[in-house]
Amino acid sequence: MSLRKPALDPRTVEAVVASGYPEPYRSRVLPRSKRRIGDALGLTRIGINYTLLPPGKESSMRHWHTHEDEFVFVVEGELVLRTENGEQRLTAGMCAGFPAGSEDGHHLINRSDRDAVYLEISNRDRADGAHYSDPEVDLAWSPPHAPGRFTRRDGTPF
Amino acid sequence: MSLRKPALDPRTVEAVVASGYPEPYRSRVLPRSKRRIGDALGLTRIGINYTLLPPGKESSMRHWHTHEDEFVFVVEGELVLRTENGEQRLTAGMCAGFPAGSEDGHHLINRSDRDAVYLEISNRDRADGAHYSDPEVDLAWSPPHAPGRFTRRDGTPF
């Protein structure tokens, strides 16, 4: 059965394997793939990716957003959610939410032996910036550089 | 296993069986139940419900939004998506998206013999209004009445 818009089977959207991170962070997330299903559906006020994270990989470096609420919903497999207060195991049907401006950095890690799939959803706000929480991660994402470019914490380019 | 915020098992959130619709529309959706998981997670810029639709019931009357993108993702069961161009069958893992201002009204109908569960997600915008697409549905939802009150199409109260 082939769906037509406004309906969509997420698995029919192109899977993009890409990251704006420099090394050594890039290798910690790739070959994570994202299917940009919000874009495919013509949505502009919310962004929605259908994301596949292979075993051993991280969704992102641990971070929080200044102007965007973020929500994740596990579709398949098993992920570890890591925040300031430690780790929790999320299986299919479980979710997590990160309010804009809440300074508790988060990311997901696939510590299982099979692919995990999740939805990641946020409102879109051009003023948004991201702060990275782990001391060893020297990354920043903030206007006016965003969207499009990561810098070091002090704003200098890689 | 009990999750703590920012993680959440949607099924642990209270299921609210309620509708702001007057009759005869109210009986067409209830006892649909919504678990307000975005609220439970402290999100304010996006709204997220985990919604259960029993057999024979409709998600809403067919409508479109002026200022809010809307997205649905089927978690369990089977739903019929009805839009201007007809009907499509959505099963678990499929989705649909409705850009703000796109005048193609939509709703979901459970024509199966078991409960269906879906996520419904939108950005939040106080300027939002909803227009109802089927001629026999004499409903309107528009500022300054919203949020909180439906009227007839001509703005008069029920």
What pLDDT digit, counting tens, does each position of B63-80 carry? 999 999 999 999 999 999
Q: What are phi and psi of A38, to 5 degrees?
A: -65, -50
pTM listed for this prediction = 0.96
**Measured between beta carbons, which residues in chain A are less than 8 angstroms from residue B9?**
93-95
Residue of A nearest to B119 (CA): A73
Q: Using the predicted structure, report yes or no on whether residue A146 has a pLDDT greater than 70.
A: no
At A25, list the tokens.
């962070």
Q: Using the predicted structure, report yes or no on whether residue A32 has a pLDDT greater than 60.
A: yes
Of B17-21, B23-27, B117-121, B154-158, the range with the lowest mean pLDDT is B154-158
Of B19-28, B49-58, B75-84, B134-143, the range with the lowest mean pLDDT is B134-143
Q: What is the pLDDT of residues A52-87, one digit of tens each?
A: 999 999 999 999 999 999 999 999 999 999 999 899
Q: Do A95 and B8 touch (CB under 8 A)?
A: yes
**B63, containing H or E segment:** strand B63-65
Q: Using the predicted structure, report yes or no on whether residue A143 has a pLDDT greater than 60.
A: yes
ipTM of this complex prediction, to 2 decimal places = 0.96
Q: What is the pLDDT of residues B20-37, one digit of tens each?
A: 999 999 999 999 999 999
Q: Using the predicted structure, report yes or no on whether residue A1 has a pLDDT greater than 80.
A: no
| Three-class secondary structure of residue A37 per DSSP | helix
Q: How far apart are CA A69 and CA B123, in angstroms?
A: 10
Q: Do A75 and B95 touch (CB under 8 A)?
A: no
Please give the single-letter amino acid code of residue A14: E
Q: What is the mean pLDDT of residues A125-148?
A: 84
Give A118→chain B minimum CA distance, Å: 11
Q: How far apart are CA A31 and CA B64, in angstroms?
A: 38
For testing contact with chain B, the best of A13, A35, A39, A41 (most B CBs within 10 A)? A41
Q: How far apart are CA A7 and CA B60, in angstroms?
A: 17
